[in-house]
């Protein structure tokens, strides 16, 4: 499969030393106190580069918490001011892109449900024209490598060269131990087609429960993935979304300490 990606290496836009890029933070921003206190605990580990939090949440079914909305951007901004962590959030519409950029969010990501819809991805890409911001594109919910590459091409086509992919696993009819099947071969194919594209693993959404996370995280490192995005909440048991898969900042530090990393990320 041909592709036409023109991208910059990860280390040219974020300095992680010789370590993988670590993005961590709650699935959803819930309250200002939750975002800011989680950020402090994560920053204090000394192992986290970027604070993540979903502000607009694409829920599979209606009637559940759909995100705190724009006010959460100010909480991320405060967390950054107090901790120095960079910030990242999911964008799914042109308006999200405009608001996130106006609030100074450092990294945007496209969620798995959005990647599956070329109209949505194109809308996001159009809103990014002329902007210099890193964008990470999650794999689509369905195991379709072309959709993933197509989304990366649309964002890249808008002039975004600070580009990365997030491997978060794929929905499957078959129920297994994983919430989303990793289907590692799809990530391997992406790596083969676009070796210069950084791939960041999202063990939280692959596993769906925190017990499996160390196993998937180690596997991602063994495959030389260049980073991790892991959901971390100050008190996972009361998280408003994805409670079963979130880990405390202390557990995250422990997890990262116990990883064996063969190569420096490049």
First to last CA, the chain: 24
C-alpha span between 167 and 144 (Å, rounded): 12
Contacts of 175 by beta carbon, 8 Å cutoff, 6+ apart? none
Whole-number minimum distance, CB 38 to Mn ion, in Å? Answer: 14
Among residues 80, 96, 138, 210, which is the contact residue for ligand PEP, using CB under 6 A?
138
> Residues binding Mn ion: what is the number (CB under 5 A)?
2
Question: Out of ligand PEP, Mn ion, none, which partner does residue 111 contact, by CB within 5 to 8 A per kind?
Answer: ligand PEP
Stretch that binds Mn ion, among 29-37, 45-53, 188-196, 236-244 (CB under 5 A): 236-244
C-alpha span between 27 and 225 (Å, rounded): 21
Stretch that binds ligand PEP, among 110-118, 121-129, 218-226, 245-253 (CB under 6 A): 110-118
42 counts as binding ligand PEP under rule CB under 6 A: no
Is the CB of 156 or the CB of 246 nearer to ligand PEP? Answer: 246
The residue of the chain with the least Cβ separation from Mn ion equals: 27
Whole-number minimum distance, CB 205 to Mn ion, in Å? Answer: 6
Rounded to 5 degrees, φ, ψ at 132 are -110, 90
Among residues 67, 111, 150, 236, which is the contact residue for ligand PEP, using CB under 6 A?
111
C-alpha span between 9 and 196 (Å, rounded): 7
- Using only C-alpha atoms, what is the Rg of the chain? 17
Structure tokens at 110: 């496209």
**Angle (CA) 220 239 57, round 5°:** 75
Among residues 112, 203, 242, 248, which is the contact residue for Mn ion, using CB under 5 A?
242
* Residues of span 150-189 touching ligand PEP by CB under 6 A: 168
Question: Out of ligand PEP, Mn ion, none, which partner does residue 179 contact, by CB within 5 to 8 A per kind?
Answer: none
99 counts as binding Mn ion under rule CB under 5 A: no
Query: Which residues are 50's β-sheet partners?
Result: 23, 86
Is the CB of 80 or the CB of 179 nearer to Mn ion? Answer: 179
Burial (Cβ within 10 Å: 0-12, 13-18, ≥19) of residue 177: exposed
- CA-closest candidate to residue 7, choices 194, 151, 147, 266: 194
Question: Out of Mn ion, ligand PEP, none, which partner does residue 138 contact, by CB within 5 to 8 A per kind?
Answer: ligand PEP
> Residues binding ligand PEP: what is the number (CB under 6 A)?
9
The residue of the chain with the least Cβ separation from ligand PEP equals: 111
C-alpha span between 36 and 210 (Å, rounded): 22
Structure tokens at 49: 């580069």
Provide the sign of the torsion angle of the four alpha carbons 81, 245, 198, 226, taken in this order: positive
Among residues 41, 42, 51, 54, which is the contact residue for ligand PEP, using CB under 6 A?
54
* Residues of span 190-219 touching ligand PEP by CB under 6 A: 205
What residues make contact with ligand PEP under the rule CB under 6 A? 27, 54, 58, 111-113, 138, 168, 205
């Amino acid at each position: 499969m041909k592709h036409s990606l023109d991208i910059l290496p990860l280390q040219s836009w974020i300095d992680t030393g010789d370590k993988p890029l670590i993005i961590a933070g709650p699935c959803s921003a819930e309250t200002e106190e939750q975002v800011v206190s989680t950020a402090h605990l994560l920053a204090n580990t000394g192992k986290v580069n970027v604070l993540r939090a979903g502000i607009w949440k694409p829920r599979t079914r209606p009637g559940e918490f759909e995100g705190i909305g724009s006010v959460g951007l100010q909480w991320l901004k405060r967390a950054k001011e107090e901790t120095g962590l960079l910030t990242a959030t999911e964008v799914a519409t042109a308006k999200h892109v405009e608001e996130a950029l106006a609030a100074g969010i450092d990294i945007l990501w496209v969620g798995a449900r959005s990647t599956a819809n070329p109209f949505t991805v194109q809308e996001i890409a159009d809103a990014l024209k002329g902007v210099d911001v890193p964008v990470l594109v999650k794999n689509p919910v369905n195991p379709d490598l072309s959709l993933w590459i197509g989304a990366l091409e649309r964002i890249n086509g808008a002039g975004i060269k600070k580009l990365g992919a997030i491997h978060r696993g794929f929905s499957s009819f078959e129920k297994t131990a994983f919430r989303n099947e990793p289907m590692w071969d799809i990530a391997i194919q992406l790596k083969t087609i676009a070796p210069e594209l950084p791939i960041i693993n999202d063990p939280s959404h692959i596993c769906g429960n925190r017990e499996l996370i160390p196993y998937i995280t180690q596997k991602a490192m063994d495959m030389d993935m260049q980073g991790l995005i892991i959901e971390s909440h100050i008190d996972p048991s009361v998280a408003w979304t994805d409670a079963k898969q979130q880990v405390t900042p202390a557990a995250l530090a422990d997890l990262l300490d116990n990883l064996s990393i063969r190569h420096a990320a490049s």
